[in-house]
């Protein structure tokens, strides 16, 4: 019996597949590209979440499922199909990657989509861990040239703040949960975990972190979501995706991305080590 990783070539999923392989787990990855490199020892099934036949092939002989769905116009359909096929296959050990505060961002398509999937997990009482990560620190890799070249932190995340989390910590928590469920003699109760970093960072705070790391002034670019959407369109993102991300940024400005008090401390206890900070992440990026 193996652990199936859906999303195994993405930012988080690739680290999950690597972590499971390092732990000696039998790992299968559902991938669209038959030539895409995978970690040593990871088996592949070619297919995708829109192809039910490939889902059935991938889930044959699987004990435990990691479900991560990339941003897509039909994300809800893809995720619900995957969970239904998993249920038909008798899979009773699931880890699903959702998003923090999904219930607050009701006008953001991919947040509401993930909340819909969470509701299916709850309504059917699927034995799953739902991971709800905040803003990925690695989102800022793409804007590093702007920060260094123009002296501006351009992400319009506002003043409420985000409990930014390093994707390596997300992956480590996912691996721990997958192994915990996979190794349990019986399916474990359903659980939801907010996944955050050790500090809340707002727009001016993020700029200040980059200023200290670079040794010069970096300014926060402000809360203009119109300009943010326009920049995404200039980068050739599809219109629906640029608009979705614009709505997300407006939600971050309104609500922030904040976890319950004590969440970061409890996550560190689960990992047995401190969570990675935004300061450490930025220092690594500048050193590169």
- Kindly report, residue by residue over 234-265, the tens digit of the pLDDT: 999 999 999 999 999 999 999 999 999 999 99
Q: How confident is the model at residue 219 (pLDDT cuts 50, 70, 90)?
A: very high
The answer as to whether 222 is a domain residue is no
The span from the CA of 204 to the CA of 89, in Å, is 49
The single-letter DSSP state of residue 162 is B
Q: What is the mean pLDDT of residues 217-224?
A: 97
Q: pTM of this prediction?
A: 0.96
The answer as to whether 83 is a domain residue is yes
Per-residue pLDDT, 153: 98
CATH code for the domain of 115: 3.40.50.720
Per-residue pLDDT, 1: 65
The span from the CA of 119 to the CA of 239, in Å, is 28
Q: How confident is the model at residue 68 (pLDDT cuts 50, 70, 90)?
A: very high
Q: How confident is the model at residue 108 (pLDDT cuts 50, 70, 90)?
A: very high
The answer as to whether 245 is a domain residue is no
Tell me how crowded residue 234 is: count the other CB atoms within 10 A of its CB. Answer: 9
Domain total for the chain? 1
Q: What is the mean pLDDT of residues 112-119?
A: 97
pLDDT at 288 over 90: no
The answer as to whether 38 is a domain residue is yes
Q: Is 193 helix (H, G, I), strand (E, B) or coil?
A: strand
Structure tokens given for 228: 């943010």
pLDDT in tens, 41-51: 899 999 999 99
The answer as to whether 7 is a domain residue is yes
Contacts of 145 (CB under 8 A, 6+ apart): none
The answer as to whether 92 is a domain residue is yes
Contacts of 240 (CB under 8 A, 6+ apart): 73, 109
What is the enclosing helix (H) or strand (E) of 194? strand 191-195
- What letters, b where the CB count within 10 A reaches 16 and e where it falls short, cover 99-124? bbbbeebeebbbbebbbebbebbeee
Name residue 2's beta-bridge partners. Answer: 62
Among the residue ranges 25-39, 55-69, 86-100, the one predicted with the least confidence is 25-39
The answer as to whether 58 is a domain residue is yes
On average, the pLDDT of the chain sits at 96
pLDDT at 282 over 70: yes
pLDDT in tens, 143-189: 999 999 999 999 999 999 999 999 999 999 999 999 999 999 999 99
Q: Which residue did the predictor score with more confidence, 9 or 3?
A: 3
The answer as to whether 211 is a domain residue is no
Q: Which structural domain, as residue segments, surrounds residue 103?
A: 2-133+167-195+260-271
């Amino acid at each position: 019996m193996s652990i199936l990783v859906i999303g195994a070539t993405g930012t988080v999923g690739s680290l999950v597949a690597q972590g499971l392989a390092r732990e000696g787990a039998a790992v299968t990855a559902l991938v669209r590209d038959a030539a895409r490199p995978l970690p040593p020892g990871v088996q592949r099934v070619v297919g995708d979440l829109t192809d039910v036949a490939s889902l059935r092939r991938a889930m044959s002989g699987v004990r435990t499922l990691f479900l991560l769905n990339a941003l897509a116009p039909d994300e809800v359909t893809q995720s619900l199909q995957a969970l239904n096929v998993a249920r038909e296959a008798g899979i009773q050990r699931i880890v699903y990657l959702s998003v923090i505060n999904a219930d607050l961002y009701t006008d953001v398509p991919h947040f509401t989509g993930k909340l819909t999937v969470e509701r299916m997990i709850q309504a059917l009482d699927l034995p799953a861990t739902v991971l709800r990560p905040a803003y990925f620190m690695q989102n800022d890799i793409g804007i590093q040239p702007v920060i260094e070249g123009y002296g501006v932190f351009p992400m319009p995340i506002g003043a409420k703040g985000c409990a930014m989390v390093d994707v390596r910590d997300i992956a480590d928590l996912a691996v721990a949960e997958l192994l915990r469920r996979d190794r349990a003699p019986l399916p474990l109760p359903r659980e939801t975990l907010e996944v955050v970093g050790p500090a809340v960072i707002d727009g001016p705070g993020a700029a200040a972190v980059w200023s200290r790391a670079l040794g010069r002034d970096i300014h926060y670019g402000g809360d203009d979501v119109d300009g943010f959407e326009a920049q995404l369109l200039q980068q050739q993102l599809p219109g629906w995706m640029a608009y979705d991300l614009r709505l997300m940024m407006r939600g971050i400005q309104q609500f922030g991305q904040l976890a319950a008090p004590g969440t970061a401390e409890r996550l560190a206890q689960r990992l047995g080590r401190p969570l990675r900070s935004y300061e450490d992440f930025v220092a690594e990026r500048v050193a590169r």
